[in-house]
Amino acid sequence: MRWFWIDRFEEFVRGSRAVAIKNVSLAEEHMHDHFPGLPLMPNSLIVEGMAQTAGLLVADAIDFNRRVVLAKVAAATFHFDAVPGDTLRFDASVLDLKPAGSLTKVTSMIGDQLQGEAELFFAHLEPGEGVPTLFSPDELLTWLDHLRLFDVGKDQEGKPLLRRDW
């Protein structure tokens, strides 16, 4: 089973910024197992949602030519817990983009309150460097369609992003 910690994109500017939404639901399995009787979304899974948002932003910025792997959580701070019924809004920005890796800053908001913030470093690995292929190109395009990336995505000039054929 694959775990997706974002439900959709609300904004996506190639190589710059992405905003994604995660609805926290009592229907999710981890809500019943993490703290029985006190359902909350573990901060580690919030970091995963942040990483998925920023990782797709970075992967798109490098034309999906390398595998983008979360290599380091440089810093992470959480101000309060996310509970069922909350909507997390992940706002990711690329701080530095180099051939070998990238640094991003991601915040999570619930309503108008800052819930968490993190700096995430991603390594850019060549195919065959021991990282398994997680998605076929068709699976990735289908996932990006479901996340509405192509509905809201723009390049840095403000033109709509087009689906790519890999």
Residues designated catalytic = 34
- The Cα-based distances of 14 to 42, 109, 121, 141, 157 in angstroms read 29, 22, 18, 16, 9
- Which residues sit opposite 138 in a β-bridge? none
Cα→Cα distances 120→19, 59, 102, 136, Å: 15, 14, 8, 25
Q: How many Å apart are CA 130 and CA 6, to the nearest integer?
A: 26
Beta-bridge partners for 153? 12
